[in-house]
Amino acid sequence: MDYVSALVPPVVMAVFFIGVVRVIVKTQGGAAKAKEDAAVDAALARAEAAPQASAGDA
């Protein structure tokens, strides 16, 4: 029975890992994808528009 107790933790972790991957895959896209993409695009635009400080300005 020692082999059963040795195999249970890896099996449980594998099941949880598969569940996490399935949740991540299922939540990609959908109704909120356009809103999330717009938020990322706006953040990138703000980062690119911000004045860049060079090393000599300090």
Higher-confidence position of 34 and 11: 11
In degrees, to the nearest 5, what angle opens at C-alpha 38 toward C-alphas 33 and 42? 150
Please report the pLDDT score of residue 54 as a whole number: 58
Please report the pLDDT score of residue 13 as a whole number: 96
Please report the pLDDT score of residue 21 as a whole number: 94
Residue position matching structure tokens 């911000």: 50
Higher-confidence position of 41 and 27: 41
Helix (H) or strand (E) holding 28: none
Please report the pLDDT score of residue 1 as a whole number: 78
Q: DSSP class of residue 51? A: P
54 φ, ψ (degrees, to nearest 5): -85, 170
